[in-house]
Structure 1
Amino acid sequence: MTDRSEEVRRLREAIKAFAAIEDDAACTAAVSEVLRDWPDLHAELRQLRQDRVNNLRNERRTWPEIAEIIGDVTPERAQQIGKGLRGKKRPKAVNPRTKAEADDPPV
Structure 2
Amino acid sequence: MTEEKPEEVRRLEEAIAALDAMEDDEACAEAVSLILDAWPEHGAKLAAIRRERVNRLHNQRRLSWAAIGAMLKRRDGKGVSGARAQQIATGQSGAQVKKRQEAAKQAAQEQPEE
Give the TM interval when normalised to the shorter protein: 0.7 to 0.9
Structure 1, gaps ≥5 residues long: 91-107
Would you say how many aligned residue pairs link Structure 1 and Structure 2? 90
Q: 1-side partners of 2:21 and 2:63: how far apart?
A: 42
Percentage of identical aligned residues: 47
Q: State which of 77, 80, 100 in structure 1 corresponds to 2:84.
A: 77
- Normalised by the length of structure 2, the TM-score is 0.73
Residue of structure 2 in register with 1:46 after alignment = 47
Q: String of CA shifts for 1:1-26, please: whole Å, max 9, x gaps.
A: x6852211111000011012110000
Structure 2, gaps ≥5 residues long: 74-78, 99-114
Residue of structure 2 in register with 1:8 after alignment = 9
Give the RMSD, CA atoms, in angstroms: 2.0
Higher relative contact order (CA 8 A, sep 6+): 2
Residue of structure 1 in register with 2:94 after alignment = 87
Q: String of CA shifts for 1:31-79, please: whole Å, max 9, x gaps.
A: 0000000000000000000000000011100001100111231100000
Q: Which amino acid aligns with 2:70?
A: E
- Normalised by the length of structure 1, the TM-score is 0.77
List 4+ stretches of structure 1 deviating above 6 A: none
